[in-house]
Amino acid sequence: MKTKNYPTDPYQTTARFKSACSGCSKTINKGDQIVYDKYRKLVFCLNGCGEGESILQGVRAEKSFDQYGTDIY
């Protein structure tokens, strides 16, 4: 069974320009790995406050629940 991707799900990507993490205000340089929350238009770093990892973990848990009907955490 294939999991459904929703267009508003946050996702990991590469920063295309310099910005700041919405969680800890750490500078994010072009080329850094980030988590982008398209729905709220927020950017989170992956190596700082932990907010980016937390968001990705939540998305993985939701996809697992959609696919298997059970939470993986």
Instruction: Kindly state whether residue 51 falls inside one of the protein's structural domains.
Output: yes
In tens, the pLDDT along 3-49 reads 556 677 888 999 999 999 999 999 999 999 999 999 999 999 988 78
Q: Which residues pair with 64 in a beta bridge?
A: none
Structural domain total, the chain: 1
Strand residue runs (E) in 5-45: 11-14, 19-20, 27-28, 33-37, 42-45
Instruction: Kindly state whether residue 33 falls inside one of the protein's structural domains.
Output: yes
Cα 71 from Cα 73, distance rounded (Å): 6
In tens, the pLDDT along 53-70 reads 888 888 777 776 666 665
Domain of residue 29, residue span: 11-68
